[in-house]
Structure 1
């Protein structure tokens, strides 16, 4: 992450602009306030967010009397539960001042308990952010509960060296993976050609199923209790396409993050968050100890042929507990600094996310600060650019406890996928096996 050394005179001007409060500030340099921060950036390895926190604390934070302290790292799927536990007085957790989470998790904490960022940012400031990203963190009554600092979507990432061998033998090209039908056909052909290996591990299969169903005209397939309508035929057929492939071992639900399975050669490819690029190595190390170059290839999310393409608009936002105005001002100062255009571009380019400011996406085309291997990041942002231009973004579900239900579903599928391919290979009907996975989905309440 690039460091910025500002002249003292310009630094003073910047401090005044960042605070947005002038002489009315509640911050005191000689009596600093500490902001406890929970985030999801970097659970698997060293965190670019932690580096930014250190930079803030040693510069603007030091000069204004604000110290940000990272007190917990989690995953996006788990952090909502941790926040609720802390709010309820859990023995091991204290409620943070600032945190990343999804809107449903924020709403579960009680909107009245959270800072409305519109109280701390002017409309002129907010007009510089992508409207859809702001809407993704806005409650039904218009309160901006989660401030966008980055957004992700789902992409296809592949061991290019292994795919070249498959392509040469079977004639499958990357272009064939552009549609869901082509993707699942390639998965079946790879399984047959490789002697039973799995083509792809999916990190968020339910979202892939949802997007295909919506592209096919499913309409609303959610129930009032925040799950899926078992009577929606289009949604079920979308699920069954995935489930048939799962039952035969063509695809799997990832152990947690598909990049690990790609890097060990367990699968050829992964379908997951654009941010997963942060965790890919430049080599594949097979379980027998042999290695080969990864030559990572990144492609857009498959889409339904002949239909308007949809993409998930994912990623957490920054929420803050409503305690004192001093802490709210301190949190707003950090958020304003964090989303400064050049700094935000640096952050997303290092982590595989999309920038949140209008026009910043175009600046990535000429960006020269990608980490190595830079070609993989260039491919990633080329794929994201294609999706930004050709796909319509769709926000993720906002139901309370939705992600905990999804976690139960994935755990169940991971258990089933250990046995289903063997049963399919022994002659059991694939559709019947796929129906077992549908029954699992319908059983979750």
Structure 2
């Protein structure tokens, strides 16, 4: 079936997209949809309507309600944004189109290979997710407060290249801020991170172990005790000491209130790193942001997460499926994709679009975007990391979302609970060393690890 046979401008096709973009991301997406409708869409007979369904969880819920025809649910859209685990579930129910039917091998080869591979479920050549915009993780630093600390202590940015270095630097920062007052043990936390599941999954990969391996749709769970101990030592131990912290919904919120000065976040979160710090609503000052590569463990290969939803084309008829792919191909053309990604903090998906000069040129010409300067300053680090790190994501599998949720909460919640216990002991007159010693034990680690193993095994069995 040729494109000419399926698309007719005299008999236009109306398509509906559901997504989770909000704020600047929604604005950027809507502008491109409108441009498509007025140009390529008008020429080919395709009209697209895009609707935000809230956040990612809201979107996943509404798609599943549509698929299962829950009372009061809306009809299925023609396309919807989805992460791999959610797309996998929809595909198992028979609703995801194999988009490779509408793309030549040459067209498929224009996209970054790992992005295409993420959309392949099983061992076949079918593609169930169209890559539209991706992200990875980087470190963001409040350079203004860092400079004061580094000047006083000799701390080096090179120390932030490894997780061991981050932990040691955080200890030094806590002790330095503690010494600035007469009150004992009132030092400040240095670091926090978004997406704890990424710390667990990518950290394991950095340390040579893959937690979830998937073959023929079957998942195998591998939890290496020594790897888990490295993850524990470089997050839990600093956390219960007060060196790390997590208070707000995102760590950029904590940077805004001065709770921390360094964080790991998605590249799509660069624009949200604060320009000012506001402490107790009465002290406010401007800060400069600095973007650094994602830390790795000492003496390991460099891995960073590959993340970001793509678009699933819903099975319908050949005309609607073809029209959907036509829109997505247009949306991922170099100039359009760079436009969307540079306004929303994502990374373009085609090999030719990883062009730092073209990205910088777009940002230079769009200074009305208040995050443009921040994104432009971050680009060399982001692109450099993409070119030197191995990008990693787990293959989709049954209950993958549930497994990830366990990893998201397990170590962080344990760290928070035990930190509160340490604080209670401090108030009772114990020294920090005495208080922490009660929790920094092999028995405590093993108890947590046993619980994690059981929870994950129960989910994927």
Task: State the TM-score, normalized to the length of structure 1.
Answer: 0.85
Which of 322, 325, 347 aligns to 1:332? It is 325
1:12-44 CA-to-partner distances (Å, cap 9, x unmatched) read: xxxxxxxx9553133444x54332212233368
Which of 67, 70, 86 aligns to 2:47? It is 67
Match of 1:13 in 2: none
Check if 1:117 corresponds to 2:99: yes
Call closer, same or farther: CA 1:161–1:414 in 2, change over 3 Å.
same
Contact kept? 1:244, 1:434, Cα under 8 Å:
no
Contact kept? 2:271, 2:375, Cα under 8 Å:
no
Gaps of 5+ in 2: 178-185, 364-368, 426-434
Alignment of 1:367-406 (within 5 A): 367-370=360-363, 371-406=369-404
Which of 166, 172, 177 aligns to 1:189? It is 172
Q: Distance in 2 between matches of 1:27 and 1:104?
A: 35
Deviation at residue 157 of structure 1 after TM alignment? 1.0
Check if 1:49 corresponds to 2:29: yes
Which of 346, 349, 367 aligns to 2:342? It is 349
Which of 228, 243, 255 aligns to 2:236? It is 243
Q: Distance in 1 between matches of 2:24 and 2:218?
A: 33
Call closer, same or farther: CA 1:350–1:80 in 2, change over 3 Å.
same
Q: Distance in 1 between matches of 2:54 and 2:325?
A: 22
Call closer, same or farther: CA 1:183–1:257 in 2, change over 3 Å.
same
Deviation at residue 437 of structure 1 after TM alignment? 4.7
Q: Distance in 1 between matches of 2:121 and 2:399?
A: 17
Contact kept? 2:211, 2:223, Cα under 8 Å:
no
1:147-195 CA-to-partner distances (Å, cap 9, x unmatched) read: 1112211111122222222222322222210111101112222233333
Match of 2:110 in 1: 128
1:221-252 CA-to-partner distances (Å, cap 9, x unmatched) read: 66998685455432343244322223333224
Give the CA RMSD over aligned residues.
2.9
Q: Distance in 2 between matches of 1:330 and 1:237?
A: 49
Contact kept? 1:57, 1:68, Cα under 8 Å:
yes
300-309 or 87-96, which moves further after superposition? 87-96
Call closer, same or farther: CA 1:437–1:34 in 2, change over 3 Å.
farther
Q: Distance in 1 between matches of 2:258 and 2:218?
A: 40
Alignment of 1:4-15 (within 5 A): none
Deviation at residue 275 of structure 1 after TM alignment? 0.6
Q: Distance in 2 between matches of 1:218 and 1:105?
A: 24
Contact kept? 2:141, 2:261, Cα under 8 Å:
yes
Contact kept? 1:243, 1:437, Cα under 8 Å:
no
Match of 2:182 in 1: none
Q: Distance in 1 between matches of 2:357 and 2:278?
A: 31
Contact kept? 1:253, 1:410, Cα under 8 Å:
no
Runs of 4+ in 1 over 6 A off after TM superposition: none
Call closer, same or farther: CA 1:254–1:32 in 2, change over 3 Å.
farther
Match of 2:13 in 1: 33
Deviation at residue 272 of structure 1 after TM alignment? 1.5
1:90-144 CA-to-partner distances (Å, cap 9, x unmatched) read: 3453232211112222121125421111111222222222222111112222211
